[in-house]
Amino acid sequence: MIRRLCIIGVGLIGGSLARALRNAGVCEEIVGSGRSVGNLEKAMELGVIDRFDTDPAIAAAGADMIVVAVPLGAMEAVFRAIQPVLGTESVLTDAGSAKGCVVDAARAVFGEVPAFLVPGHPIAGTERSGVGASFPELYQGRRVILTPLPETDLRALDRVTLMWQAAGARVSNMEVTHHDAVLAATSHLPHVLAFSLVDTLSRLEEHDEILEYAAGGFRDFSRIASSDPVMWRDICIANRDAILKMIDRYMAGLNEFTGMLREQDEERILETFRRAKEVRDGFVGH
Amino acid sequence: MIRRLCIIGVGLIGGSLARALRNAGVCEEIVGSGRSVGNLEKAMELGVIDRFDTDPAIAAAGADMIVVAVPLGAMEAVFRAIQPVLGTESVLTDAGSAKGCVVDAARAVFGEVPAFLVPGHPIAGTERSGVGASFPELYQGRRVILTPLPETDLRALDRVTLMWQAAGARVSNMEVTHHDAVLAATSHLPHVLAFSLVDTLSRLEEHDEILEYAAGGFRDFSRIASSDPVMWRDICIANRDAILKMIDRYMAGLNEFTGMLREQDEERILETFRRAKEVRDGFVGH
């Protein structure tokens, strides 16, 4: 049971968590914080939060669970702002898509990784953003990865685990750098490729006509290019090395394919497509 | 009104067209042909076709509308097989995703592009294949591009236009090479990128874990990698030059992005993402 939940960043991720926990009846009070008063007022109207303060320190004071769901680039500033009000009972967690940079931000602010910090990452989301896009079922059956450190208090880990499970998620643990490598491959790379595809097409001369004739394949492929640009800029910067490594691997693969196509090597092209289809068909089964 | 419609290749594309035209009540009889007896028997069971013959010449004899919906690599062989039975009333069209190669195949078989041939391309489909995946609404509101040549009989063009409109599609005309350039950008490139992404990930050491943690972004992005490998091999070979050109453009864009990321140029990364989001959001409105 959470007595007072403080959500800093009441958008799609933070707002959906608040809604899920309220529906599950595991929160007595939910306090929101964020930079946009309009968004926080909307969160009040929608019943997502009970009250708010744009100052994260005031919002977090007295909270026994603080979830920071802001773009990665804003993480350190939030940690710095709430540091003075963190009590002995406070558990602090975040929802950032990369974890190494969150640990670095904590070290910069607290001098070490505090025992009450449990870095976390819900593998969920849509391309939409803001509290208006939030919904309580977002985490139902989805994975949440927590990346505790040797310093992490196991009771804090346990409380964050129970919170996400109450929201419907399946929680697992992973080492920080391993998380960042896996996510660079499964999430960050696809986003970069999608942004890059839309950007490439939009710079072609006939771009209006091209979008006119784009079919379902393009629609699905490029959906994630509608994601929040600030959030994704921050992810790219935060997980830069792992992402650059994945882009290199991808480019090597695409170069290999280009070679096959140039040589009209029908057999190897077919083999590549068959292998990809098999893997992708297997994924659907999850 | 079509007296006898012959569909050669009763899969997702051909089967859905047959179903749509039957529902619209514009066909007296529908004859199917294809290589797989199992698929044709299934098409009979589902009521998609009235009868079939695995020999395309027998199936096409006496038909006033012949639609060839086979992978591009099989197009020339089908043209050659049906050539002897084409009558003065026959209209011939296809559903291939590239058009230059269809015109080439026709020239190879008929010595010239016959006036009764109307090359066509329905911009519709799913990643599934076979008659079992077909459904009558597939073309509802979707675009069909016809690429008539100077040689094309306008009455033949008109009959094919009316057929697709009866299936619910919006029909427009385009020049052959222009079609192939536009489709390389909007459809062929995204498919190559998706196949390539899945292939890259599946060759990483931790590939099982990576697919385990893949989220919605990956799911949507890679959906088209489940498409029919033979069909896509043929498209790549058939529209090779235009696709290679688009891959080059894409690689240049991705390289540019990699440079920004390497230099941590947050401003330009944000600008790129913002531009892509704006374009993609505009596309949703279509």
Closest Cα of chain B to A162: distance in Å? 20
| B195 in contact with chain A, both atoms CB, cutoff 8 A | yes
Reported confidence tier of residue B117, pLDDT bands at 50, 70, 90: very high
Mean pLDDT within B145-166: 97
Residue A49 in contact with residue A22, Cβ under 8 Å? no
Which of A236, A254, A279 lies at the smallest CB-CB distance from B269?
A: A236
- Percent of chain B whose predicted confidence (pLDDT) is above 90: 81
Q: What is the pLDDT of residue A125?
A: 80
Q: What is the pLDDT of residue B100?
A: 97
| In chain A, residues 258-277 whose CB comes closer than 8 Å to chain B | 258, 261-262, 264, 266, 269-270, 272-277
Domain residue ranges in chain A: 2-174, 178-284
* 3-class secondary-structure state, position A205: coil
Chain A residues in contact with B284 by the CB 8 A cut-off are 226
Selection from A84, A263, A269, A128 nearest residue B277 by Cα: A128
Stated pTM of the model: 0.84
Q: Does B109 score more than 50 pLDDT?
A: yes
Q: What is the pLDDT of residue B209?
A: 81
Compute and round to an integer the Cα radius of gyration of chain A: 21
Q: What is the pLDDT of residue A24?
A: 97
Closest Cα of chain B to A91: distance in Å? 26
- Percent of chain B whose predicted confidence (pLDDT) is above 70: 98
Which of B210, B247, B273 lies at the smallest CB-CB distance from A254?
A: B247
Locate the chain A residue with the closest alpha carbon to B145. A213
Across B28-32, B167-171, B182-186, least confident range: B182-186
Reported confidence tier of residue B223, pLDDT bands at 50, 70, 90: confident
Q: What is the pLDDT of residue B285?
A: 46
Q: Using CA of residue A125, residue B271, residue A243, residue A106, what is the dihedral sign? A: negative
Q: What is the pLDDT of residue B284?
A: 59
Q: How is the beta sheet containing A143-146 ordered, strand by strand?
A: A120-122, A143-146, A170-173
CB atoms within 10 A of CB A255: 12
Q: Does B31 score more than 90 pLDDT?
A: yes
Q: Which CATH superfamily is domain B178-284 in?
A: 6-phosphogluconate dehydrogenase C-terminal like domain (1.10.3660.10)
CATH of A2-174, one of 3.90.1150.10, 1.10.3080.10, 3.30.300.30, 3.40.50.720: 3.40.50.720
Query: What is the rounded distance in angstroms from the CA atom of residue A248 to the CA atom of residue A195?
Result: 17
Q: What is the mean pLDDT of each run of 10 residues along chain A (286 residues)?
A: 97 97 97 97 98 98 97 96 93 97 97 97 87 96 96 97 98 96 92 91 82 74 86 95 96 96 96 91 64
Query: What is the rounded distance in angstroms from the CA atom of residue B1 to the CA atom of residue B256?
Result: 54
Which two tokens mark B148? Answer: 């008539």
* 3-class secondary-structure state, position A118: strand
List, in sequence order, every residue forming a beta bridge with A68; answer none if it has no partner: A8, A94
Q: What is the pLDDT of residue A284?
A: 59
Reported confidence tier of residue B168, pLDDT bands at 50, 70, 90: very high
| A285 in contact with chain B, both atoms CB, cutoff 8 A | no
β pairing state of B117-118 and A51-52: unpaired
B51-105 pLDDT tens trace: 999 999 999 999 999 999 999 999 999 999 999 999 888 999 999 999 999 999 9
Q: What are the strands, taking DSSP E only, across A168-222?
A: 170-173
Residue B76 in contact with residue B53, Cβ under 8 Å? no
Whole-number Cα distances in Å, A180 to A186, A204, A261: 10, 34, 33
Q: Does B233 score more than 60 pLDDT?
A: yes
Mean pLDDT within B19-37: 97
Name the phi and psi angles at B187, rounded to 5: -125, -50
CB atoms within 10 A of CB A269: 22
Q: Show Cβ contacts of residue B157 under 8 Å, excluding neighbours closer than 6 positions.
A: B118, B146, B148, B173
Q: What average pLDDT is seen over chain B? A: 93
- What is A102-113 written as a DSSP string? HHHHHHHHHSS-
